[in-house]
Structure formats: C-alpha cells, structure tokens
Chain A
Amino acid sequence: MPYDAMNGESDEALLAAYAAGEQAAARALVQRLGPRAFGHAHRMLGDRAEAEDVAQEALLRLWRAAPGWREGEAKVSTWLYRVVSNLCIDRMRKRRGGAVDIDDVAEPADPAPGAEAALQGRAREGALQEALDALPMRQRQAVVLRHLEGLSNPEIAGIMDLGVRAVESLTARGRKALEGLLAGRRAELGYDDD
C-alpha cells in the first residue's frame, strides 16, 4: 500500500501492517508517533537530548512488540504514552537521586513565529516548563497529559493506572501548584490580561 494511502489508517491497522512487513507502514508510524513520543518526553523532562533518547527507546519497544500485538487489546497511542511516561519517571528519579545537572534546563523547541510573539511565546514556554519541572512527578505527568497533550481523563487514567477521580485530583493539585509558581510572573508572561 502506498504511504499516502496510509494516512487514514488507524494506529492499530498501521502496526499490523508494520508487523506484516509493509515498509510504508513503518514510515507512516514514525511520522505519526515519533513527534508525539518526543513531544511528551520533552514536556516531561524539559531536555531535548534526553527526550530524544526516551522517545527512541519507546519506539524501539513498540517495534519489538508489534508482531505479538493483539488487535483490540490496547490503543497504540495509550501504550506509547504509558511507556514514554514510565521511562521519563525513571529518568527523573535517577536525576533526583544523583547530582544536579546544570544542563537540566528547558531548551526551547523549534518555533518559527515572528518577533514579539515569538519572544513572549518562548518566555511563556520556558516559564511553564520551569514550573512543570518543580511539580511532583505524578502531578506533572497528569498535567502534561491533560493540558498539553489534550487527552481525556479516562485516557490518562489508563496511561497512569489510576482511577478517573485520582486523575482529576492530580490535575487539580497540579494546576493549583502551577498557579502559585507562576503567580509572580503573570505580567512578564503577558497572560494576566488574557
């Protein structure tokens, strides 16, 4: 099947085609899932190089799981978010247990908007990432999945192995903590008058 024809296929159908040896499916899955895995890892870790490593490891696990994947057992995206999240939490635990890394600072992504908006966008992004980094791991995970990845609470519950109520509680506490952390920077970030 040609690559373009695969754009309308579900992740699960693409994974089945990948396991059957269709090269176009491999390319389509990388284009679809690569940025998602990387983006989530970046938001969790705030570090580009680490996010690349984590996303690569998660994708590698997906490719190896593909031949034994049973249709209807799990959603590919949920599975991938879960693996990325767990790998990120492992790294964050190691980080906290080890020496402080001076490079552990959020690196801006590759936005290309113009002038002032770009500067403010980067300032906001940096500030939010710093505030996210200060949250407890599970709160950060829930807030990122809910408010940055845009997932539903039941999806997040599946990823985090929690009940929906627990997810709602985690995101609520995370938002409250973020508001406190960013309270003094509203004017600087240009969102107090939004």
Chain B
Amino acid sequence: MSAPILRVKDLQKHFPVTSGNLFKKQVGEVRAVDGLTFDVYPGETLGLVGESGCGKSTAGRSMLRLLEPTGGSVEFDGQDLLAMGKRQLVSMRREMQMIFQDPYSSLNPRHTIGSIIGAPFDVQGVKPEGGTMKAVQSLMERVGLNPEHYNRYPNEFSGGQRQRIGIARAIALKPKLIVCDEPVSALDVSIQAQVLNLLDDIQKEFGIAYIFVAHDLSVVRHISDRVAVMYLGKIMELTTRDQLYSAPLHPYTHALLSAVPIADPDRERARERIILNGDLPSPSNPPSGCVFSTRCWKATDRCSSEIPVLREISAGHQIACHFPEDRSSATASSTVSGTDFTAN
C-alpha cells in the first residue's frame, strides 16, 4: 500500500463550558473528539459512523482545521497541518475540500451558481485553461447540472441539485481528499442514490480519498472501503467494511448494526435484535473507564475503571474493548442467543 494521504494521531477537540455573564470562567469541557488515531490512503473511502453527539462531524472539521483541534497531530501528504501558518494552510486547502450536509445553508443565496463553483479558482488564484467560466461549466456538466444554468441562484435548485453544486465546488481544484459531512442525509431516497453514485464515479475518475461522515449505516456500508465506528468522541472499532458488517467485534458495533431495519420483510423479521437501554451519556460528563460501559451488556468492574485502548486485534482490525465478541464459531450471531435480547 502507498503512503497514507492523511495521518491523524490522538486528535482532540474539547469545547469549554463556561458560566457567568461578565466574568466567564470555564467550569468544564465537552470532549467532543477525544483521541482519534487513523490513516486515510489515497483514493479510498473511510466511513466515520456513529449516533448524534458522538463527535463525528467535529472530527471531520478538526481534521481540516475548520475547527482548531485542542491536541494531537494531523499530517496531510507528509506535512504537519497543525504547525502551519494561516497562509500555508490556505494554499493547502486546495488539496482538501469539504461537502456539507445541508445544501440549503452551505450555498450563499446571493451568489450565482457560476460564482459559487468558481470561487475555489479565485481564492486559490488558479487560472484554469480556457477561463474560469469554461471550467465551471464543464464541472457543472460533470456533476449532472445543465451548464446553461450558470447564472442562476441556489433557490432555483432542488436539494439534490444543490448537493451537486456543492460537489462541483469541492472537486473544482482536483483535491486529494474530501471530507463529506452527511452529504446525503437531507435528501429523499431516490435522489440520495443519484448523489451516492455521482460521488462513486468522481472518486474513480479523480482518485480522491473520502472521509465519509454519516449516521446511516447502510449508506456507509455502500460507499466505504473501511469504517470507523465512533461513540462519545472515541473510535470503538475500525476495520474493513466487509469485516465490520459481517463480523463486528465491539459490542457497540454489534448493537448498532442490529438496530438497523433491513428493507426485506422476511430477513427483517428474522434478524437478531439487540435493544440497548437508555440514551447516549453526556459528552461533558462521560462515564469513567470505557465510555460505552453504561449501556453495554458485557460490562464488568474493569470496564468502568480502566479505559480500553484502541488496539489491533488482527491485521487491519482495531478495537477498543476489554471483552470483544467471540467470533471463533464463525457465525455472525453466535454470541447473543434469542431474537429479542435486551441488554441491561
């Protein structure tokens, strides 16, 4: 395998919690991202999946320094992003772009589509061959928009079309990495499939690496090569897509996957269900030890006192758990018997 395009080590993003109106003082912190370590290779898609509040979006933004990380290191193409000055960082952004969840708020309503998609050229001082307008129109054509709509405004487009505009803007400078933050979750299923296929095609054509942040596990399965499962600011499990979905080792991954309904009545009604009790704990007051221990049915005293570190359990399969699921008998549902299992 070639060298990673992005190396993230122990990335942290903590938000201060303050009190008082005039003299604000910090009374605590929310550890939104708390020690992420992973690599992304050129041309691959790493899925970052988890429930709301697990820190996946904050992680995506911190990696690009759209949010200033609290600690850790991010190396992009061999260069330390966190040590860069502002000017250096801006020119580095040419190589790394972002696609946002909400296609309504991520496009300036007063700018035409042409100037939105052309903005990266202006910002970076790039003069494309044949002029910006020609380059923008060929980008519009590439993402399935009518190039004649160059002078229209965002409000004249539907949600799916707006997401195409966001994609055109992100690929304008042929970046090496795009962080896609829930790019299809605001779209209807039929439109979602169009956009997923477009992202797929573009990746093949330009060899762009994606970090695909999403909560929808079936979408993540579809698009990712490798998947990292996050819970309360930490990675619980990180491995290849097929391994994760067919034989998850972390109890949280196992429960999360079993919670997703399958669009096939016979399979759906026969499948194993692990119903977790309770809600996600508050990230400002995370449980001691393993963050998942309060909802885990396998938790012991050790789990609430000792933090499990993310370790490699087999080649390319990392997990942060003291008591990984036993897959020795090879079947995916061997560890939990019965169909209606309630964890305590």
Binding partners A and B = no
Binding site for B on A (CB under 8 A): none
